[in-house]
Chain A
């Protein structure tokens, strides 16, 4: 006799969907790191953020404006309207 298998947890499967990131993203989960992660993380970010916090050089703002202008006028990249 075959019992019908009731999906007792059909809706509950959703709980599996919760982000894997918490598990895969460190917190010493990388095969039990035998040394402290914190000082490395701090220093790494201090270096990185030092650059991030610099103002965007003007050349990039100009570049984007220039790219925008050339997209606005299809065809030739003429600088002046004749």
Chain B
């Protein structure tokens, strides 16, 4: 099986994104990197099924996500270590943005149901469109929208965000739009 140079380079540049997503799913960082490793190997083995020119990142995310949930099923465990999501990463993060403490935010994020957290991250941080996120999670677009919506509402409650603040330009959609049309 020949993998083109361009594809290899794309694979390499996808790794940071894959790691960030893996950490959001698996929490602890060792397990996240194992997931990424597994994903790269699986992707390599079935590159013949990938249509060059289509969205490689979405394809890889799908593999990673399937791998994660199949591990969860095999181990007979619920999605674990949500508390650890991004926890080991504090050193590389600002401790506070604006008035909100980063660790408060992280804890609130950890309290979300996994499906909601996942949808929020795919759309709000990974920069996928709702359609792409739906394809990755193998569910309806409406399901993703409702998960994101519920996730936002719940986070707002947990963090006691006041209404009426910072409506203006919403950087979530702004970043999503620039990224997907790029």
Q: When the two chains form their complex, are residues A28 and B89 in contact, meaning their CB atoms are under 8 A apart?
A: no
Q: Please tell me if the beta carbons of B152 and A40 are within 8 angstroms of each other in the complex.
A: yes
Residues from chain B with a CB closer than 8 A to the CB of A64 are 8, 11-12, 40
Cβ of B17 under 8 Å from chain A: yes
Contact A25:B177 (CB < 8 A) given known A42-B98, A44-B120: yes
Chain A residues contacting B93 (CB-CB under 8 Å) are 46-47, 50
B177:A41 contact, CB within 8 angstroms: no
Tell me if A53 and B37 are in contact (CB < 8 A). Answer: no
Which A31-46 residues have C-beta < 8 A from chain B? Answer: 31, 33-46
- Give, as a whole number of angstroms, the nearest-CB distance from A11 to chain B: 23
- A14 to B47 CA separation, bound complex (whole angstroms): 35
Question: Is A5 located at the chain interface by the 8 A CB criterion?
Answer: no
Query: What is the total of A-B residue contacts with beta carbons within 8 Å?
Result: 171
3-42 of chain A: CB within 8 A of chain B: 19, 21-22, 24-28, 30-31, 33-42
Instruction: Mark A residues whose CB is within 8 Å of B.
Output: 19, 21-22, 24-28, 30-31, 33-54, 56-57, 59-61, 63-64, 67-68, 71
B-to-A contact residues, CB < 8 Å: 1-3, 8, 11-12, 15-17, 19-20, 23-24, 33, 36-37, 40-41, 44, 86, 89, 92-94, 97-98, 100, 102, 105-106, 109, 120-121, 123-126, 129-131, 141, 145, 148-149, 152-153, 155-156, 159, 161-168, 170-173, 175-177, 180-181
